[in-house]
Chains A and B, each alone.
Chain A
Amino acid sequence: MELITATITNLLILSSMYILVALGFAFLFSMLGILNLAHGAIYMLGGYIGLSLIMALGLNQWLALLLTTLIVATFGIFLEKYCFRPFVGDFNRIITICVVITVVLQTGVNIIAGTQILSLPPFAEGVLHIGPASVSYERIVTFAIGAVLLLAITWFVNRTKWGQQMQAISQDLEGAYLQGINVHRVSALATFMGCGLAAIAGCLMGAYLCLGPFMGDFMLVKVLMLTIIAGVGSISGIFIAGIILGSLDSILPLLVSGAASDATAVGILIVLLLIRPQGFFGHEVEM
């Protein structure tokens, strides 16, 4: 019973975290065509800044979470303006600049805090008992935050004017320009939100698991997998792919040990990619 509740909560948390980060990644990709390989590093940065605020300023986790989000999101805007926008369309230079950003962030964090094993304090204490099952409040809260954010983002993209402009840009950049949409401003907004989401996920995962200078690499790989399976331009696709991936990562380790479970997950994804290369939910992309 313990195992079942633990697995279920793990599944929910992993899925929602993957989706949060993948959404941010997808925003940048579908709007500017940029494969932000530095997104993992931004996620990691969020976690560490959150911890720093808590430790250095003695803030409680919630305030730190809020502040971290603002800081990282703003950082994202600068990244977009000075590092991504000049190179839109030039695949090679985008990869290079992303590697630069990743290396700088990872090395910097590694130097400052690399050798210690750190984690954020939990966002809630205590255990909830429902009949025979017991779940820690921390897990519930973590998942709740993720779920609320996802609902908010979904509402934002579908119901607000800004969100619809974002959708327009992702479907037809030139058309959006011609319609008078301020592409630069909307892109900046999307980056702001995307990096903010990654930062929040970084803090939450930093509390749920632990922090590490290279935790971004792990998350980036998950996000790439997710995006490919989901396809471009479909938010519901990201949700579904996120749940699939979260499920694989929670359940497979129970069936197959250690490295073999990772290998199996990758194997399944390769097969999916070969069956339907453009993803299962998005629209076709001519490259």
Chain B
Amino acid sequence: MERRLSIKGRRELTRPAVYAGLAVIVALLPLFFESPYILHILILTFIYIIATVSFRTIVISGQFPLAHAAFMGIGAYLAAMAAKWLGMSPWITIPLSALITAGIGMLIGYPFSRLRSLYYAMGSLFFGMGIIQVIYAGGSWTGGYSGLTGIPALLPGVGSKVPYYYFFLGLALVSIIALYRIEFSRIGTNLKAIAQSHVVASSVGINEGGYRILAVGVGCFFVGLAGASYAHYNMVLSCSSFNFMATLWLVMYVLIGGVSSFAGPIVGTIILIIIPEYFRDLKMYSPFVNAVILGIVVYLMPQGLVGLPRLVKSKFTERRKTKKVNHAS
């Protein structure tokens, strides 16, 4: 019954087999790619997928927070510091840090949620910058400008990246499923309703303020989770991974994939991380690859990469129609 009510419900739910198949392929990748560098890239992809999908969860409620990478940083630094200075186990710091990140997000989200669109975006941008400055100012506690090192590993004593690969694959899958459920339930519908008209939404009893904060809380929880896990994998943290440019790239991943579809962020993240890797040898020139991808999508694919199949199909039917007309005359 719920299928008829959710927006893209039918399309997403009739392809479980395809997704299961993809999951199996991804799970088997380490058998084919043994290079630690490739595994590292894939792990980063999983981490960024969690970040971008959770970003989109906030976006569907009509809020555009320009500080998402900063929250990843909060999650990362909280977990790292708790493990390094308080001796807590990574298996505790990761979920704990995610919860605290969510809490901070909701606390900050509360005053900002009264702002509309542009001002919300700006306010969150400044907040993100403020966080970075706080981290810089943290001296030896946070490692300041030079970064934090010596973070305890998630899997101590494990040299190979393969177990980490499966950990992050699992984390990403769990996150995707959790966020999927939010989007395609009445919760997601309410969030989208608030985005379209908060006035109408509140007139039918939807607590728009509460739902907005819920969206931010959920989004921040998962991005904090991603950040904390990253800290215990990389064992080294540098502030510049979480600055405004980092947030902007998260936004790019989502926009390129297509912001109006759940799979958009996933597709965008994969494309914008994996493809430039092929051009890795270009070193200094490699940002151009990203720019080219962005440019192509902006000019030719307004719906993002997710809209590509539909775009191709419509061009196809267009050509067939004109062929028919030409034959007829």
Do A's and B's CB atoms come within 8 Å in the complex? yes
Give the distance to chain B from A22, nearest Cβ to Cβ, in Å: 14
Q: Check A97 against B133 for contact (C-beta < 8 Å).
A: no
Q: Check A278 against B134 for contact (C-beta < 8 Å).
A: no
Q: Check B122 against A228 for contact (C-beta < 8 Å).
A: yes
Q: Check A217 against B122 for contact (C-beta < 8 Å).
A: no
A160 contacts B by Cβ under 8 Å:
no
A92-B259, A258-B137 given as contacts; is B245 within 8 A of A217 (CB)? yes
CA distance A274 to B287 in the complex (A): 36
Chain B residues with CB below 8 A from A164, complex form = none
Q: Check A111 against B119 for contact (C-beta < 8 Å).
A: no
Q: Check A273 against B290 for contact (C-beta < 8 Å).
A: no
Q: Check A97 against B298 for contact (C-beta < 8 Å).
A: yes
CA distance A145 to B319 in the complex (A): 59
A144 contacts B by Cβ under 8 Å:
no
Chain B residues with CB below 8 A from A104, complex form = 288, 291
Give the distance to chain B from A225, nearest Cβ to Cβ, in Å: 7
Chain B residues with CB below 8 A from A287, complex form = 116-118
Chain A residues with CB below 8 A from B136, complex form = 258-259, 262-263
Number of residues in A with C-beta < 8 Å to the partner?
38
Q: Check B298 against A96 for contact (C-beta < 8 Å).
A: yes
Q: Check A270 against B255 for contact (C-beta < 8 Å).
A: no
Question: Which of B125, B129, B248, B288 sits near A99, CB closer than 8 Å?
Answer: B248
Scan residues 138-152 of chain B and give those whose CB is less than 8 A from a CB of chain A.
144-145
A8 contacts B by Cβ under 8 Å:
no
Q: Is the interface of B mostly helix, strand, loop or mixed?
A: helix
A277 contacts B by Cβ under 8 Å:
yes
Q: Check B144 against A259 for contact (C-beta < 8 Å).
A: yes
Q: How large is the interface on B (under 10, 10 to 19, 20 to 34, 35 or more residues)?
A: 35 or more
- CB closest residue in chain B, given A35: B118
A210 contacts B by Cβ under 8 Å:
no
Q: Check B284 against A107 for contact (C-beta < 8 Å).
A: yes
Chain A residues with CB below 8 A from B137, complex form = 258-260, 263
Q: Check B291 against A103 for contact (C-beta < 8 Å).
A: yes
Give the distance to chain B from A124, nearest Cβ to Cβ, in Å: 35
- CB closest residue in chain B, given A105: B291
Question: Which of A95, A106, A110, A273 sits near B251, CB closer than 8 Å?
Answer: A95
Chain A residues with CB below 8 A from B251, complex form = 95
- CB closest residue in chain A, given B297: A96
Chain A residues with CB below 8 A from B119, complex form = 228, 273, 277-278
B244 contacts A by Cβ under 8 Å:
yes
Q: Check B127 against A111 for contact (C-beta < 8 Å).
A: no
- CB closest residue in chain B, given A114: B284
B170 contacts A by Cβ under 8 Å:
no
Chain B residues with CB below 8 A from A96, complex form = 252, 255-256, 294, 297-298
Question: Which of B111, B287, B297 sits near A103, CB closer than 8 Å?
Answer: B287
**24 residue pairs bridging A and B, Cβ less than 8 Å apart:** A96-B255, A96-B256, A96-B297, A100-B291, A103-B287, A103-B288, A103-B294, A104-B291, A107-B284, A107-B287, A217-B245, A228-B119, A228-B122, A259-B136, A259-B137, A262-B133, A263-B133, A263-B136, A269-B126, A270-B123, A273-B119, A273-B122, A273-B126, A277-B116
Shortest Cβ-Cβ A-B pairs, 9 listed: A263-B133, A259-B136, A287-B117, A259-B137, A277-B119, A266-B130, A107-B287, A103-B291, A260-B137
